[in-house]
Amino acid sequence: MEENKTKPVKIFLYISVWVIIWGTLGSFIDYPLYKNNIYLEGSIYQYLTFTITAIISILSAKFLYQKIKL
């Protein structure tokens, strides 16, 4: 019975960690591109950078979730 109560908390924490991973990865990719004037802040390319890293993060999270079976 205790397992059923902790499962939503584990899933919430798992998603939260992946949001942090996505933001960190996106920022690590974005920062040098922005600082080297590859694109401007708020441009479509910056949104594209974060969108692509979000897709990669979602796919990675789904793959890993199936492997660890929370």
Q: How does pLDDT run across 6-51, given as a tens digit for each residue?
A: 888 999 999 999 999 999 999 999 999 999 999 999 999 999 999 9
- 2 has a pLDDT exceeding 90: no
Using alpha carbons, list the distances in angstroms from residue 20 to 15, 17, 36, 37, 50.
Answer: 9, 5, 25, 25, 13
Contact call for residues 54 and 30 (beta carbons, < 8 A): no
pTM: 0.80
Q: Does pLDDT of 3 surpass 70?
A: no
* Rounded Cα distance, 11 and 13, in Å: 5
**In angstroms, rounded to a whole number, what is the distance separating the alpha carbons of residues 59 and 45?**
21
The CA-based angle 58-42-14, given to 5 degrees, is 20
Q: Is the pLDDT of residue 1 over 70?
A: no
